[in-house]
Amino acid sequence: MDRTAPMTERRVLELPGRGRVVVWDTPGPAAAPTLFLVHGVTLTAALNWGGIVGRLSRQYRVVLVDQPGHGDGLRGGTFRLEDCADDLAAIAGELGIQQVVAVGYSMGGQIAQLLWRRHPGLVRGLVLCSTARNVSGSPWERSASLMMPGLVTAAMWMPGAGAMRADLVGSALLESECSPAMRRWALSEMRRTSLVTALSAMQAVAEFSSHSWIGSVDVPAAVVVTRHDRIVPARRQWKLARALPDATVLEIDGSHDVFLHAPARFGAAVESACAAVLQDLDAPAEVSA
């Protein structure tokens, strides 16, 4: 896996009823807490997280997987965020992992929220980065959301659709200047995902909402807010943070591609967020007189 820690092991698992999936597992120190890093739409695990795995693996076991249809992810079927969450739970079971801190970026943050809701015993904490309770609140966003099913269908039937890749839409995520070589590599990772899969995932993201239940999260949570984000505006990220009970908030300078153009800054924020979540878990409970 590109740009990850040297001890990362590539493992192929068979998920019952779903198929084979490639998992990257970096062990970290003995008995270290486990992080599941969950990437965003049109990205791959290597693209979203590769720049910070080495840093995180100094303290944690780090497990990554490409989401369905992305990179080396599972193939076939309709893209559903619920299935993504269930896949992560199945991977944890296959690896013998009892509990994880779910660290999600953008779409991955929505999947992390669903992982807590659908598999509450598995999730011991949440770190939600550049994400929100929903991304279809304004009239314009709702209109765009309603158009997504038609766009997906049109893309499926378009001549040459199989050759069209996710970089056609994913390139819009690259908001900041980075070196030409880095940009070329990022676009090459996006091309590992089809345009149809990318649009289907975007449709799933547009349909997601945790408004009615996010306030019931009962595990420690932290939110990493990207201050200059135009894809998921900071105001949406703050609304998520305020809806979570007692969430830790870390606000950083950066846009939606901060993981690519400023991995040190992004990695420091994620590391601090994970530490805050686990510190809350270790804190002694208050005892009433």
Looking at residue 75, its pLDDT comes to 87
The C-alpha atoms of residue 63 and residue 178 are separated, in whole angstroms, by 27
Name the residue ranges covered by the structural domains of the chain: 9-135+211-281
The C-alpha atoms of residue 184 and residue 190 are separated, in whole angstroms, by 10
Looking at residue 78, its pLDDT comes to 87
Judge residue 38's burial from the number of C-beta atoms within 10 Å of its C-beta, 0-12 exposed, 13-18 middle, 19 or more buried: buried
Q: Residue 281 is encoded by which pair of tokens?
A: 């878990």
Looking at residue 103, its pLDDT comes to 98
Looking at residue 149, its pLDDT comes to 47
Looking at residue 213, its pLDDT comes to 98
Strands lying side by side in the sheet with 221-226: 9-15, 19-26, 61-65, 34-38, 100-105, 123-129, 221-226, 248-252
Our CA dihedral for 52, 56, 58, 61, rounded to 10 degrees, sits at -120
Looking at residue 226, its pLDDT comes to 97
Residue 227: CB atoms within 10 Å: 12
pTM higher than the cut 0.75 = yes
Encode 143-180: b = buried (16+ Cβ within 10 Å), e = exposed. eebeebeebbeebeeeeeeeebbbbbbbeebbbeebee
The C-alpha atoms of residue 32 and residue 210 are separated, in whole angstroms, by 30
The C-alpha atoms of residue 81 and residue 78 are separated, in whole angstroms, by 10
Looking at residue 52, its pLDDT comes to 97
Looking at residue 67, its pLDDT comes to 97
Looking at residue 175, its pLDDT comes to 76
Looking at residue 98, its pLDDT comes to 97
Looking at residue 154, its pLDDT comes to 45
CATH class of 9-135+211-281: alpha beta
What is the pLDDT tens value at each position of the chain, 289 positions in all? 445 556 789 999 999 888 999 999 999 999 999 999 999 999 999 999 999 999 999 999 999 999 999 999 998 778 999 999 999 999 999 999 999 999 999 999 999 999 999 999 999 999 999 999 998 754 434 444 444 444 444 444 355 556 778 998 999 888 777 888 999 999 999 999 999 999 999 999 999 999 999 999 999 999 999 999 999 999 999 999 999 999 999 999 999 999 999 999 999 999 999 999 999 766 554 433 3
